[in-house]
Amino acid sequence: MRHLLPSLTLGLAACGAALPTLADDHWPAPVEALTEQGLTIHGEFEGPGGLRGFGASHSGGEVAIYLLPDGEHAIVGTLVDAEGNNLSEAALDEHVRAEQFAQVWQELEESHWIADGDPDAERIVYTFTDPNCPYCRQFWHDVRPWIEAGRVQLRHIMIGVLAQDSPAKAAALLGAEDPAAALHAHSGEGEEIVPGPQPREIEEQVFANNQLFESLGFMATPTTLFRTGNRVDRIEGVPSPERLEEAMGSPAP
């Protein structure tokens, strides 16, 4: 939604991604047996040592299947090398999670956010922000070096989940004449938000953002999402210095 925790390996059920499946007319018997137990096969890959691998999913997540050379037995789980490196993750990313990650990123792009930083920045990062979250304000300050250098645009998906007046404050920011300036005043200068009546459209935007936050299985604010290759990674809460650099894509300028 896990680096695998805290990175984003969202459960398929959580994001509702419609993933492609393989036709079942050529599956080896052990793989077919696993589909009858509830697994869905999304792709086949060549595993180490001549093993045939299959990327699969179930209601709780994703898993790799390895067919043994006799074709009559299969192992379900993680394959590691002599150094303990996980050899299954890359295959699962490619054959099971790729479309899922793409869908999640599209949902983030289509959500309702306030941009912080250069629109031409090379790196885009999304973060779920509640106006009543002190950790969100800390994160706002922590990312200043990258924002001010023009390297990153941080997109605040405004939600209201922490307090009774959070939805109204989030709507006030989204509905401000200059949302970016209003967020800067609130997060950077500590200016209090005075909730006021907003158009129904703005209130619905906050509600839709809340639904997205919940559908992805998130609970903490800020929750920050960024791309690492084709993977969508996540950080819940205020990132450590090392994870902050990973999210921003570089050391601080």
pLDDT per residue as tens digits for the range 150-206:
999 999 999 999 999 999 999 999 999 999 999 999 999 999 998 889 999 999 999
- pLDDT(229) > 90: no
The confidence score (pLDDT) of residue 26 equals 73
pLDDT at site 1: 32
H-type alpha helices, 8-63: 12-15, 29-36
Residue 16: pLDDT above 60? Answer: no
Is the pLDDT assigned to residue 18 strictly greater than 70? no
**What percent of the chain is predicted at pLDDT more than 70?**
90
CATH 3.10.450.70 occupies which residues in the chain? Answer: 12-98
pLDDT bracket for residue 21 (50, 70, 90): low
What CATH architecture applies to the domain 12-98? Roll (3.10)
Condensed to tens digits (0 to 9), the pLDDT of residues 132-142 reads 999 999 999 99
The predicted pLDDT at position 25 comes to: 55
Prediction pTM value: 0.77
Q: DSSP state, 162?
A: S
List pLDDT tens digits, range 75-113.
Answer: 999 999 999 999 998 888 888 888 888 999 999 999 999
Q: Give the mean pLDDT of the chain.
A: 89
Determine the Cα angle at 105 with ends 99 and 110, to 5°.
Answer: 125
Residue 230's pLDDT is 79
Whole-angstrom distance, CA of residue 45 vs CA of residue 94: 9
Domain 111-248 - what CATH class?
A: alpha beta
Q: Phi and psi at residue 213, in whole multiples of 5°? A: -55, -45
> Which residue in the block uniquely carries the two structure tokens 């599209």?
106
CATH 3.40.30.10 in the chain: give the residue spans: 111-248
Rounded Cα distance, 188 and 200, in Å? 28
Predicted confidence (pLDDT) per residue in 24-76, tens digit: 557 899 999 999 998 989 889 999 888 999 999 887 788 999 999 999 999 99
pLDDT > 80? residue 11: no
pLDDT higher than 90, residue 244: yes
Would the pLDDT of 236 be above 90?
A: yes
